[in-house]
Amino acid sequence: MAEPTSSPATTHPADEIPMRRGCPMRPPAEYADLRANGPTRMRMPDGQPVWAVTRHRDVQAILASPDFSADNRTPGLPLIKPEAQEVLDNPTFLRKDPPEHTAERRTLIPEFTLRRVRRLRPGVEHATAGLLDEMLRNGSPADLVESLALPLPSLVICQLLGVPYSDHEYFQTRAGAVLSRSSTPEQTSTAYSELFAYLDDLLTRKQRHPEDDVMSRLATEHLKPAGDFDRETVIRMCTLLLAAGHETTANMIALSTVTLLERPDLVAVLRDQPDKRSDVVAELLRFHSIADVIPTRVAVRDTEIGGVTIAEGEGAIALLAGANWDPEIFDVPERVQIRAGDQRHLAFGYGIHQCLGANLARMELEVVLPAMFERLPGLRLDAPVAELDYKYDGVVFGLHSLPVRWETPA
């Protein structure tokens, strides 16, 4: 393995992955060549060689393969950002393999089934209406990220987990630091330990006074001695849910708004054809592919992917935006269009680590996008699309802020 070098985030050698998006509304232009080429040797920011995998079928193959590890502790796993050793040594189940991954994920599956998510829907509608009421009270202009895109998923995950929303500033800033590629390992590690301490404390309260929420169920049913998990494992599960539940959906709401503002035809579909909402949301998920660079893997035995052999110990990055813009699967991928019933996009990943919150995220988007256009008449951007504050430094792509205006009755 090459010596790690600390290259500043602003310089991007041609063979470095993750790449910076040129146009924020599409994957890096280089992905087209990478797809034509098949799995390609590139380098991570720390200099580690990595296979960049971009074709839809290859991304699916690698993410479904038991021959690749997602575990931080497997030597050779590529890192999308520098991490402190203690973070690497104590992964959440997103970065663990079976059987540990299986046990933790299984515990949480019932909390995110379609049936459960349908039951959460009225609460999400209510929270959305409340935030929109407040936006109307405070008046135009506003920052949509601050007033809607971020607080909605935050309210939802807090309610689900049983975390007091009044503490949201505390954990939002920490979750933000964990997910920023500009954070130093020290900053990430401090943010992690503060989140950990906060949830540790809350878990104690849930043990004493359990309520009807995920943390209480973990505290009373799954924590030793009643259950199988030690305290640290349970807290790390909660850290993951809290951090993942926030940023991802918030970024999708903000980016989708930018896209939809240029597509009144799709806004009309959202408004008039409720049965097509899931198609619009699937397409927005595909188009933006915000989690593009998250799925990194390392081969645990020599495995053939897309015509090349990825040798044991070699790292790979399965680029979700590459797969989601593969013209072999999606006709004219650069066009946002209704692809009726097509759920083949890999925006939530694929394989055993596919996003656990996918059903919840889809439902939140199906609720908030139409409601926002209905309640904020004449919604428009208050800055040019090219000048918005994009998260080029994010582990997940998105927007730091989104200035908007709407018409207020005279």
Residue 106 in the binding site for other proteins (CB under 8 A):
yes
| Nearest partner of 46 among 17, 23, 75, 20, judged by Cα | 17
Antiparallel, parallel or unpaired: β 49-53 and 40-43: antiparallel
DSSP annotation string for 224-242:
TTTSSB-HHHHHHHHHHHH
- Scanning 110-118, 125-133, 174-182, 310-318 for contacts with other proteins by CB under 8 A, the matching segment is 110-118
Distance in angstroms (rounded) separating the CA atoms of residues 208 and 219? 9
Interaction residues for other proteins, span 111-150 (CB under 8 A): 111-116
- 172 or 303: CB nearest other proteins: 303
Among 151, 295, 306, 349, binds other proteins (CB under 8 A): 349
Among 55, 56, 95, 105, binds other proteins (CB under 8 A): 105
Residue 268, helix vs strand vs coil: helix
Residue 245 in the binding site for other proteins (CB under 8 A):
no
In the complex, the smallest distance separating the C-beta of residue 113 from other proteins, rounded to whole angstroms, is 4
- Scanning 120-128, 187-195, 353-361, 374-382 for contacts with other proteins by CB under 8 A, the matching segment is 353-361
Among 354, 374, 380, 408, binds other proteins (CB under 8 A): 354
Among 64, 129, 197, 268, binds other proteins (CB under 8 A): 64
Residue 350 in the binding site for other proteins (CB under 8 A):
yes
- 228 or 262: CB nearest other proteins: 228
Instruction: Find out whether 111 and 215 touch, Cβ atoms under 8 Å.
Output: no
Distance in angstroms (rounded) separating the CA atoms of residues 174 and 290? 20
Site string for other proteins, 322-341 (x = CB under 8 A): -------------------x
DSSP annotation string for 345-375:
--TT--GGGS-TTHHHHHHHHHHHHHHHHHH
Q: How many CB atoms lie within 10 A of CB 27?
A: 27
Distance in angstroms (rounded) separating the CA atoms of residues 361 and 356? 10
Distance in angstroms (rounded) separating the CA atoms of residues 400 and 398? 7
- 115 or 137: CB nearest other proteins: 115
The residues that touch other proteins, with contacts defined as CB under 8 A, are 63-64, 105-106, 109-116, 341, 343-344, 348-352, 354-356, 358-359
